[in-house]
Chains A and B, each alone.
Chain A
């Protein structure tokens, strides 16, 4: 009976650790479909190290809670300083942190570097509550946009200025992004109203979309298929349904798709299911 309370704290801690870890490990990140596997590896390494520290410190906490419960004749040590111990655990923690840090910074530098020159360029513009997708066409240049030129009837939601020569062959659509497999994809991310965040769970890509500036990210899709595009920044009432589709196609199918979609004509372009514009 004497050590019941400390024991219960210890047991509860251990049980919670084990249950939580078990629950936690049932599944993992969404299946990886891009070249950003290094993030998954860094995360796995972090899981192993922090997991071990988590289990060790919680077990230690449980042990002291049980072992040092007050009882008849117990005596506490008058022990309150040990410089070598302090230096040791400060140094060990610092070394582990720097190891993580160097790896993370290297990955960060790779992922935020300029996109390769041969990358397929696509622009996505977040709007309450849809992603407007634009390709520059054969000329490789995006036409100017002007808020005053918004025209809902022609689905020109971002105000593409059709008098600009660069705009002639721009391809506009809503909520569908097409990319070729195995080629770097450079995404220009914009917004015309509030802040959104362009999130590709399967590709380890997330980048906020801000009005007034263009943010960038690039990655290489590795597997053909259809994937979800989510908005990860609270952008208003329809935030939860601001969903797009990323279609990764073979390079040939991608070229054919761009031709099929054609430049943004005055009439609505084909293949633009406008499911979330409410």
Chain B
């Protein structure tokens, strides 16, 4: 691109505050908007989790202060079962969609894609802004649902009908569930716009020399995430609209005849059934056809960040680049063939269960390959212990722990006793939520200088890591144990005096331990918020390339101006992982360096 054009880009940068920071079309601003919104949603969803754990750990306790703060959720200081159901429903919904699909994908994706592929902005800047301004109403609608009618949706984040379809089935199945559906539709519309932008930008707008095999693994992850989202979200939006019709317009997609709700048959005045012919399994198929690719929409970016961070701070090329790409592509492809493992005991035909078990066990292979590649990257390296690499090591650790429990659950027969118990909660919090969350924290520490032009505080960053890492394991690892012992998910109380099951009573002691760990985990996040806001405004100014990293995004000022590079967009001559190249003057060779050294240099 011509020099003059670049200057034009700078000159065209909007000046008024509202166009520069609010209704901006600049990918970096939109990325930060997404990121900050997602982190605020995380704060709310995290507080919901704390309330969940208070109830599970101390089911007999009264909380007069909380009762005053949240009068609708408590009566006489005791949490009501309906509030508890809303808590776990909304914690899951907000975390999965509005935090862990948003911060890594829409947040870092927007910030990083043009900077890492070498372009001035996303392919469709207006669509990009529209995507954020569709996402924000989605957030507001989801949060507003707490304040309407009988409260927020309470049918679980999976919203299985008939619980979510029959308004009398659970208090939140009124207006709260309607808003849940509407909020999801906004979210999916926003994600679709983002996905189109991601795909177009990565495929069509790479700078000269940036072949696909020179893309950072983060970009491969973003590319795959866009494909997964575009192919799978339509299934959920269709499902949501059918659910809306069942709830409000008298259709029966998910509702069979013969329904009896609290001893009252659901009949028309003439005695015919109110609903007929639907199947609740249809929703489960539509939901999990999105739901399982969605797991990888959360995780793939974190796996990409981890690879980039490990390579930079190990001062060593990522091991097995091609097999890493191959592994991510296979995980992406297989993710469309495993949804039925959420439905082994759902009543689905057992033959289908067999097929899904095969693909589920198969997906463990590329996942294991990634771990081995990371370990090989670490082998013979020179690890510089700055905050980002701790998070990356944390992702590797959680990916191992959570991945191994997947081998238990993937064996359909072994899944029978474990299904819908805390074992599953342990599994997905370690691998999906944990890896995604640690990936986001690692990416924040790593790319913060590029986003805000300032460095984060290392001491606070490391303290935040240690508290989070230890508390995370203490919170979620013991859940395997109570899950094996049979502890069901989503139950309001397990131990006496108000719990009902004798076989759960001995587990209460562990629930107390988990709750204490969870409170430490929650409180530790204050360290992050303090560090984030303090550093964003008061942190030391960052240089262009504070980590001596080789990627393209480190060849422009921190933060980059409008148009990303002050002059022409640089040409790329190698992959982004040339660290410790023999005969190189420094221990890294930037992607833009034309020197014919290293294994992947040359040409353009």
Residues of A at under 8 Å CB distance from B? 5-6, 9, 12-13, 16, 20, 23-24, 26-30, 36, 38-39, 42-43, 46, 49-50, 53-54, 57-58, 60-61, 64-65, 68-70, 74-82, 85-86, 89-90, 93-94, 97-98, 100-101, 103-105, 107-109, 111-112, 127-128, 145-148, 150, 152, 157-159, 192-195, 197, 199, 201-202, 204-208, 210-213, 215, 228, 230-241, 243, 276
Cβ A127 vs Cβ B260 within 8 A: yes
Q: How far is A127 from B260 in the complex, measured between Cα atoms in Å?
A: 8
Comparing B111-119, B368-376, B554-562, the segment that makes contact with chain A is B368-376
Task: Give bound CA distance, A201 to B257, whole Å.
Answer: 31
Instruction: Pick the interface stretch among B179-187, B331-339, B358-366, B531-539.
Output: B358-366
Is B251 on the interface with A (CB-CB < 8 A)?
Answer: no
Closest chain-B Cβ to A48's Cβ sits at a distance in Å of 12
Extra A-B contacts (15), CB below 8 Å, given A111-B413, A147-B259, A237-B170: A50-B407, A64-B378, A69-B383, A70-B382, A80-B316, A90-B368, A93-B364, A104-B413, A105-B358, A148-B267, A199-B420, A210-B281, A230-B488, A239-B490, A240-B492
> Considering the chains assembled together, what is the distance between the CA atoms of A67 and B258 in angstroms?
66
Contacts of A235 in B (CB 8 A): 163
The CA of A30 and the CA of B488, in the complex, are separated in Å by 13
Known: A65-B393, A232-B419. A53 touches B404 (CB 8 A): yes
Q: Which residue of B lies closest to A277 (CB)?
A: B263
Q: Does B23 contact A (CB under 8 A)?
A: no
Known: A54-B401, A76-B381, A93-B364. A213 touches B279 (CB 8 A): yes
Q: Say yes or no: B265 contacts A70, CB within 8 Å.
A: no
- Residue with the highest number of chain B CB atoms closer than 10 Å, among A193, A215, A233, A240: A240
Which residues from chain B contact A147 at a C-beta distance below 8 Å?
257-260, 265-267, 273
| Cβ contact of A68, chosen from B81, B278, B357, B382, cutoff 8 A | B382
Q: Is the CB of B365 within 8 A of A128?
A: no
A232-B488 CB under 8 A given contacts A65-B378, A68-B381, A213-B347: yes
Report how far A30 CA is from B469 CA in the complex, Å.
Answer: 31
Among B369, B417, B491, point to the contact of A201 (Cβ < 8 A).
Answer: B417
B256 and A213 form a contact (CB under 8 A): yes
Question: Which chain B residues numbered 268 to 291 have a C-beta less than 8 Å away from chain A?
Answer: 271, 273, 278-281
Across-interface contacts of A107 in B (CB, < 8 A)? 413
**Would B383 and A68 count as touching, CB distance under 8 A?**
yes
Q: Check A42 against B414 for contact (C-beta < 8 Å).
A: yes
- List the 4 shortest-distance A-B pairs measured between CB atoms, nearest first: A212-B256, A104-B411, A112-B350, A107-B413
The 22 sampled A-B contact pairs (Cβ below 8 Å) are: A12-B469, A42-B414, A50-B408, A64-B375, A68-B314, A68-B380, A78-B598, A79-B316, A90-B369, A94-B365, A104-B412, A108-B350, A108-B354, A147-B258, A150-B264, A150-B265, A202-B503, A206-B419, A212-B255, A212-B257, A232-B419, A240-B494
**Shortest CB distance B111–A (Å):** 27
**Interface flag for B26 (CB, 8 Å):** no
Q: Flag whether B171 is at the interface (Cβ < 8 A).
A: yes
Chain B nearest CB, measured from A55 CB (Å): 10
Of the listed stretches B95-103, B225-233, B477-485, name the one at the interface; the rest are far from the partner chain.
B477-485
Residues of B within 8 A of A76 (CB): 314-316, 380-382, 579-580, 587
Across the interface, B263 reaches (CB within 8 A) one of A5, A150, A194, namely A150
- Determine which of B345, B410, B469, B506 lies in contact with A208 in the assembled complex, contact meaning CB atoms within 8 Å: B345
Contacts of B486 in A (CB 8 A): 29-30, 199, 201, 230
For A97, list chain B residues within 8 Å (CB).
Answer: 361-362, 364-365, 407
Complex partner residue of B500 from A57, A105, A145, A240, CB under 8 angstroms: A240
Contact indicator per residue, chain B 132-162, by CB within 8 Å of chain A (1) or not (0): 0000000000000000000000011000101
- Nearest chain B CB to A229 CB, angstrom units: 10
**Structural contact, A195 and B163, CB atoms closer than 8 A:** yes
**B213 interface residue per 8 A CB criterion:** no
Check if B491 sits within 8 Å of A93, measured CB to CB: no
Q: Min CB distance, A244 to chain B, in Å?
A: 11
Asked whether, in the complex, the Cβ of B417 is within 8 Å of the Cβ of A39, the reply is yes
Residues on B with beta carbons closer than 8 Å to the beta carbon of A206: 345, 416-417, 419-420
Complexed CA–CA distance, A76 and B380 (Å): 6
A57: which of B400, B408, B581 is its contact (CB, 8 Å)?
B400
A100 to B321, CA, bound (A): 29
**For the complex, what is the distance from the CA of A90 to the CA of B384, rounded to whole Å?**
30
For B278, what are the chain A residues with a Cβ–Cβ distance below 8 Å?
212
- The reply to whether B380 and A86 form a contact with Cβ atoms under 8 Å apart is no
Q: Which residues of A contact B414 (CB under 8 A)?
A: 39, 42-43, 46, 104
In the bound assembly, the distance between CA atoms of A4 and B375 in angstroms comes to: 20
Q: How far is the CA of A158 from the CA of B156 in the complex (A)?
A: 26
